[in-house]
């Protein structure tokens, strides 16, 4: 691990510089980009093309139901959800970690894929290497969530939850899910650049240089990790957008 700290500082500066340039470009274009259509009023029938008109499952607005959903990472159209408090944002990553689909599955997939491709971090392709890859992936995931879903949302007054569109055509909903990687919702309900995820995942990628093995301590690894992390965020948004439809239509379950 020689020169790790020096390499990490260089990688971190690269991430910050690249992130600043990307955020400046996004912010400059934000005024010209239409946001996703606002959710229809409760009880109203949204105007959508006839080829696909999904009907979101009803989530009762009772106090008891809202309390049960206070740690849900997804907000449905029309839900009257209060802004997250500082305490709630501090606790939010802990509740994310108890979801096997979004925690255990990505970690195991990352470890298995790394062994098959012998990709970074260079821990080898044997069983010991698989275990080390899984451990590194788990550590990166924890750091990423703590920074992107807790500390930075508190600093920037952003909401770390995913707001479903839940209606419209499949392409429009896919576009909405991908756009949420770059734009999110502030605590006041306004659209804003998603600084928490764009910067937070870059910081988490830079910090991998503090525990990756020497062959993987390179700026290119930082930027690749950052890009993969943002792509995974988009994939997670797509899952949250369409999984309720799968449960309802294929498994015959409500949300």
**pLDDT at residue 172 is higher than 90:** yes
3-class SS shares of the chain: helix, strand, coil, % to 5: 60, 5, 35
| Mean pLDDT to the nearest integer, 92-116 | 87
Q: Is the pLDDT of residue 30 over 70?
A: no
Q: Has residue 120 been placed in a domain?
A: yes
Can you give the residue range of the structural domain that contains 181? 4-26+66-249
User: Is residue 144, in this structure, part of any structural domain at all?
Assistant: yes
Query: Where residue 40 falls among pLDDT bands split at 50, 70, 90?
Result: very low
114 or 28, which is more confident:
114
pLDDT of residue 68: 64
Cβ(14)–Cβ(222) below 8 Å: yes
Domain-embedded: residue 193: yes
Q: What is the pLDDT of residue 99?
A: 78
Token pair belonging to 242: 């369409």
Is there a domain that residue 33 lies in? no
User: Is residue 60, in this structure, part of any structural domain at all?
Assistant: no
Q: Would you say residue 8 lies in a domain?
A: yes
Q: Please report whether residue 206 resides in a domain.
A: yes
How many domains are there within the chain? Answer: 1
Residue 43 lies in a domain: no
pLDDT number for residue 96: 83
Q: How large a percentage of the chain has pLDDT more than 70?
A: 71
Q: In b/e form, how buried is each residue of 136-150, taking b as 16+ CB within 10 angstroms?
A: bbbbbbbbbbbbbbb
């Amino acid at each position: 691990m020689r020169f790790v700290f020096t390499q990490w500082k260089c990688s971190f500066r690269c991430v910050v510089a690249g992130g600043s340039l990307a955020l400046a470009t996004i912010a400059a274009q934000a005024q010209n980009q239409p946001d996703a259509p606002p959710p229809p009023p409760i009880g109203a029938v949204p105007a959508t093309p006839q080829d696909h008109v999904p009907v979101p499952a009803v989530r009762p607005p009772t106090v008891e139901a809202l309390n049960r959903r206070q740690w849900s990472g997804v907000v449905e159209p029309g839900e009257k959800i209060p802004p997250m408090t500082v305490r709630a944002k501090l606790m939010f990553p802990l509740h994310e970690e108890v979801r096997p689909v979004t925690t255990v599955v990505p970690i195991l997939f990352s470890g298995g894929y790394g062994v098959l491709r012998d990709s970074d971090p260079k821990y080898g392709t044997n069983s010991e290497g698989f275990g080390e890859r899984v451990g590194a992936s788990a550590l990166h995931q924890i750091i990423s969530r703590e920074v992107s879903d807790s500390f930075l949302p508190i600093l920037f007054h952003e909401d770390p939850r995913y707001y479903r569109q839940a209606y419209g055509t499949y392409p429009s909903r896919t576009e909405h899910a991908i756009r949420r990687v770059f734009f999110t919702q502030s605590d006041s309900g306004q659209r804003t650049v998603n600084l928490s995820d764009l910067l937070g995942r870059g910081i988490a990628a830079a910090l991998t240089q503090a525990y990756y093995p020497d062959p993987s301590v390179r700026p290119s690894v930082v930027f690749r990790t950052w890009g993969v992390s943002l792509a995974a965020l988009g994939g997670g948004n797509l899952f949250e957008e369409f999984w309720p439809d799968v449960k309802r239509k294929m498994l015959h379950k409500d949300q």
